[in-house]
Every structure is written in structure tokens, then in C-alpha cells.
Amino acid sequence: MKRLPLILFVLIVAACSRGTGGGAKRLPDLPEPLSSPHVMALNGELTIFGGHTDGFLLSPSAWYLKDGTWHKVPMKYPHDYSFCSLMPDGRVMLGGGSADAFGIGQSWGVEIYDPATHSFTAVGVLDRKRAGASALAFPDGRVLVSGNWYAPDAMEIYKPGEGFSFLKETSVQRNIPFILATAADNAIVFSGLDNYGNPSDGTVDRLSGEPFHEPLLDEWEVWGTRFADLSIGEYSYLVLSRHRENKEWGILKIEGENFSLLETDRPIPAFSDAGSYLLWHQLAVDRSRRSAYTVGIDTEGNAYMACINYDPVFDGGKAEVTLTVFSGPIPIADSFALLPDGTFVCAGGASVLSVDNIPMGNNFIMTREVWAFPTGAPIKAGFPWSWFLVAGFLVLTAGAFLLSRRNFHNAKAAEAEDLPVTRQMTEQLCQIIEEEELFKQQDLRITDIAARLATNRTYVSAIIKSLSGENFSNLINSYRIRYAQKLMKEHPEMNITEIAEECGFSSRSAFYRNFKDITGQSPTEWKRTVV
């Protein structure tokens, strides 16, 4: 009992501490402060291209991170506010950008970076000077370019060995447009802003074909980068968007030339708990995890990550949104990369200003900081490092007690394993699970079953093992899936969400995962074969 006051004291001290990062990891600082560079993962190396440095001066360098050290590669031309496109052969094309410091003017030069040799090769000049342009590389090596800043826009095309040439005028003027492939030789072009930074209308241009009007783009302003991978399937994409009137955040789902608003189980928040407006910057898709991620920031410099699990959408459900908060100060940045291991990295950025309670970047004061945000299970915001001390202290004080109990529990487990699994006990187990449908209880635990049978969890595990060769979780999920199949046959009008909840699953994603693991098919696929 004498230890309790000390434990309480440590807990109080820890509770008064505030950690920084909340699960985010600080990577080696950049050799120079940067804002708005292009960030990519190439050949396993985090690579940074261009941008501008302190004083709003152009940076003519690229950097790649290897063995914990940044290595410099001089560029042929500076590329701040330029386009950046991954080529089919793994090289990267960069072109245009501001001609002078302070984001003034447009430039001509285009070059290609080879990550295998860490070198740049000039490939000519654009058909017209550009800044704020975007580009899309086709499988055959052609590159479509469109967009401009304070200068006329048009489409032009790059052909390997031939250079750039004018293609056609755009129906409207655009800045940093989205260019998305709709076929192996066609694409659509649209934007939230015109070439002077004013709201753009809902006109969508086609590479081949006449433009068309999309009403959703009149209501929602597409937002974020045009450099990240946004594809969730063949010619299907997710694009971060902001409502033009109420400034709420949403996601557009684009399938070919069809636009719709992605349904989510909860909105991407527009305000922090403290009332600061949340400025989200970029959406990037991880198809291997069937999730998309976007990172935002508030006026205090706290970073926010929204994970959008879009897997349920393929079965007619709603995408699931999970929010993670990383306590600041973390610089405001619009340059991110999603690494192959699922880590979301932001590099460089500007100091945070607050304008009318909206976070803004200061283009004249940059940062060298590079942050890696985990995209796994959400981590509670601002987890204080001092809690690790608390945890260690509690583990040490409890260690003797746990050691003294270990032999007792091992003996009881061995005793339970030696107990005969009686037919009566097995029948009772099946009765309470099947007839009382306990599997429909979302938070059902093995201790609940043990209490009903007036025995311990170890003996219940032994019964289940002898009955099915499975563990408790697998057994319960198999009951739930069989019941789901029954519901889909007898009540075809029920949607997937209703069935998942009725069967006892805590989430749609858990239902989908277990259904496919057990049946080899998604719920929708299975339903088509029997209904």
C-alpha cells in the first residue's frame, strides 16, 4: 500500500505533460528549408524535387534520402509550382514552374529524373511557358500537360523523341487541374480554380471529345494535389473536395466520366475541438489496403489524418472514416508522399499563420522538418512520452505479483486441459450459442460463455477446440456468417449494413473480411449466386 501515493504522483505528473507528435516520427531534416517541393518514393528512396526556400527563393535542387542521409542532385532548371509526372518506366518528368522568386512568371524547361542513376536529362521546352500546370503520362510514354498561372492555358502533348507540341485549346482556363485517364488513350481535365485563382466552373474537358458540364463541380471545389495516386481501380478515382458554400469537406468518386459524392459513415471534420478550421491538403490512395488518406492542420500546428476505408463501397456500403490527431507544432505542408509500407510522409512546409481562424502558410519562412505519419490503427492525439515511464513503473511494481500468479494459472490451465469434455457440457455450449443466439451480441466474450456454463474460460476453449478445432472468435464468426447467409436468402430487401449489425459484427469492414475469409466470396458476390 505504501507504493500507491508514489504511483498516484507519477500519474499526476504524466497527466500534466503533453507530448509532441502523437505517433508521428521525425525523419532526418532536409539540408535546406523548403516549401511546395514534389515528394515521391522512388526505388525505396524518399525523393524531394524543387520548391522554394526561405525568402520565397527558388530551389534548383533535388534530394534523396539514403542510409539516413540526404543526398543532393542538381536540377537543370528550378521547378517551383511545376508539374511532376511518374513515367511508365519509373522515371519522373518535371516541367515548367515559376520563372523568378516570389512565385512570379512562368518557365519553359522540362527534364526527366532517373532514380537509378540519380541524374537529370533535359528533354526540351514546353509549347508555352507554364506555372501551376499538371501532367498525365500514358502507358505509351506520351504526356498530356494542361494548366497555367497568370497566363493562358491550353493542352499540349509530349511524344518521346519528338518533344512538346500544341494539342488544342481548353474550354476554360485552369490552374493545377486534375488530369485523370478514362481510357488508355483518353483523359478528362477539370479544376477548382481558374488561371487567376478564382473559382472555376463545372466544365470538364476531354483529351478526345467535346467538353461536358458536371453539376457536382459547381457545388464542390476539387482540392489538393494532382500528383498523388488517386486511383481505386481501373479509371476510378477519389478526389478531395470542399463545399463551395459551407466549406465542409467531402470526397468525389469519379468512375470514367461519371461523378458522384462518396458516401461516408461520418464526415471529414471541418473544425477542431478548439474551434479552429481544419485545412486538409492532399488525398492519396493505398489500393493494397483499400484506403485513402488525407492530412490536415489547425491554427495551433496540430496535424490530423483522416483514413477513408473505401472497401465497403464496392458492396454498396459507406466508406468508413477514422480520424487520428498528432499534437503539434508541426509545419503546414502541401507536399506529401504515401510510401509503399503505408507511411504518409510530409516534407518541408511553412510556418503556420492564422487568418480569420484559418491556418495559412508563410511563404517566406520555411522549415527543414520531415514527418512520417503512421496509417495503421488510430493513435490517440498527443500521447505523452511520460506515459511510457508510468507504464514501465507500473510493470515493475506489478511484476512480482504477476510472477507469483503465473504458476497458479499454468497449473489451472493444465488442469482444465486434463478435464474430460463431456457431451452434456458441449450440448449446453451449443444451446446457449445457437438457441439463444448469443453470437448476435457485438461485444460477446469467452468469459460471458464461461459464466453461463459456470466454468472458466480455459475449459470453454477446450470444449470449442474439441467441437470445431477452432478458437472462440472463429467459432462465433462462423455462426454469424451462417446467420448472415440465412438473412440474405430470406430477406433480400435488407442492405449489407443492416445484416452486419443484425449478425453481431461491430463494423462493416469486419463483416466483409470474415465473410470473404469463410466463404471465399464477398457478401454481394455470394448473394448474386443464391438470390
pLDDT at 96: 96
Mean pLDDT, to the nearest integer, of 89-115?
Answer: 95
Q: Which residue has the cell 509550382?
A: 81
Q: How far apart are CA 201 and CA 193, in angstroms?
A: 8
Question: Tens digits of per-residue pLDDT, 176-229?
Answer: 999 999 998 999 999 999 999 899 989 999 999 999 999 999 999 998 765 678
Please compute the mean of the pLDDT values over residues 137-163 and round it to a whole number. 95
**Is residue 109 helix, strand or coil?**
strand
Length reported for the chain:
531
Query: Exposed, middle or buried by CB within 10 Å (0-12, 13-18, 19+), for 148?
Result: buried
Pairing of strands 178-183, 186-190: antiparallel
- DSSP string covering 57-107, please? EE--EEEEEETTEEEEEE-SS--SS-EEEE-TTS-EEEE---SBGGGBS-E
Residue 328: closest CA among 313, 310, 349: 349
Residues 457, 450 contacting (CB under 8 angstroms): yes
Q: Model confidence at 376, in pLDDT bands (50, 70, 90)?
A: low
Residue 233 DSSP SS3 = strand
Cα(128)–Cα(482) distance, integer angstroms = 63
Residue 436 has pLDDT above 70, yes or no: yes
What is the model's pLDDT at position 345? 87
Residue range 152-159: average pLDDT?
Answer: 97
**Given a cut of 60, is residue 141 above it in pLDDT?**
yes
Position 468 pLDDT exceeds 70: no
Contacts of 314 (CB under 8 A, 6+ apart): 522, 524
Give the whole-angstrom CA distance, residue 230 versus residue 512. Answer: 23
Residue 419 predicted with pLDDT over 80:
no
DSSP code for 193: B
Helix (H) or strand (E) holding 336: strand 336-338
Burial string for 165-176 (b: 16+ CB within 10 Å, else e) reads eeeeebbbbbbb
pLDDT for 240: 95
Where is pLDDT greater, at 363 or 201?
Answer: 201
Confidence of residue 342 (pLDDT cuts 50, 70, 90): confident
Partners of residue 72 on adjacent β-strands: 63
Give whole-number Cα distances, 263 to 241, 340, 416, 446, 502, in Å.
Answer: 13, 27, 49, 35, 21
pLDDT at 45: 92
Assigned CATH class of 470-531: mainly alpha
pLDDT tier, 383 (very low <50, low <70, confident <90, very high otherwise): very low
Which carries the bigger pLDDT value, residue 314 or residue 485? 485
Residues with Cβ within 8 Å of residue 237, at least 6 apart in sequence: 180, 230, 231, 253, 254, 285
Q: Which of 105, 85, 89, 88 is nearest to 97 (CA)?
A: 105
Let me know: does 241 contact 252? Beta carbons within 8 Å: yes
What is the model's pLDDT at position 234?
85
**CA–CA dist 441, 292 (Å, integer):** 31
Q: Write the DSSP string, 41-69.
A: EETTEEEEE--EETTTEE--EEEEEETTE
In this predicted structure, what is the pLDDT of residue 313?
A: 87
pLDDT over threshold 70, residue 355: no
Between strands 92-95 and 320-326, the pairing is unpaired
Average pLDDT over every residue of 309-337: 81
Give CA–CA dist 120/91, Å, rounded.
Answer: 10
Q: Average pLDDT for residues 316-338, to the nearest whole number? A: 79
User: From CA 458, how far away is CA 132, in angstroms rounded?
Assistant: 64
Query: Which grid cell sits at 113?
Result: 529524373
* Average confidence score pLDDT of the chain: 81
Q: Is the pLDDT reported for residue 334 higher than 60?
A: yes
Q: Is the per-residue pLDDT at 386 higher than 70?
A: no
Lowest mean pLDDT: which of 32-36, 60-64, 73-77, 294-298?
A: 294-298
Lowest mean pLDDT among 17-26, 191-200, 279-288: 17-26
Residue 84 CB-density burial (10 A; 0-12 exposed, 13-18 middle, 19+ buried): buried
| Range scoring the smallest mean pLDDT among 160-169, 221-230, 384-393 | 384-393
Segment 417-425 shows an average pLDDT of 53
Band of residue 26 on the pLDDT scale cut at 50, 70, 90: confident
15 in Cβ contact with 329 (< 8 Å): no
pLDDT given at position 397? 40
Write out the residue limits of the CATH 1.10.10.60 domain(s) in the chain: 470-531
Contact 321, 308 (CB under 8 A): yes
Coil, strand or helix: which one is 276? coil
Top-confidence range, 121-135, 308-322, 511-525 = 121-135
Highest mean pLDDT pick, 12-21, 58-67, 488-497? 58-67
- Terminal-to-terminal C-alpha distance of the chain: 64
What contacts 24+ positions apart, CB below 8 Å, involve 509-518? 509/309, 509/311, 509/312, 509/320, 511/484, 512/311, 512/312, 512/315, 514/477, 514/480, 514/481, 515/481, 515/484, 518/477, 518/478, 518/481
Q: How far is CA 404 from CA 7, 181, 391, 399, 458, in A?
A: 21, 65, 20, 9, 19
| 13 pLDDT more than 90 | no
| Section 508-514 average pLDDT | 82
Of all residues in the chain, what percent carry a pLDDT higher than 90?
A: 44
Among residues 62, 177, 64, 51, the alpha carbon closest in space to that of 112 is found at: 62
Rounded distance between C-alpha atoms, residue 271 and residue 279, angstroms: 9
Helix axes 508-519, 472-490, angle to 10 degrees: 90
pLDDT band at 361 (very low <50, low <70, confident <90, very high): low
| Closest to 343 (Cα-Cα) out of 290, 279, 280, 286 | 286
Count Cβ atoms within 10 A of the Cβ of residue 423 and give its class: 0-12 exposed, 13-18 middle, 19 or more buried.
exposed
Does pTM surpass 0.75?
Answer: no
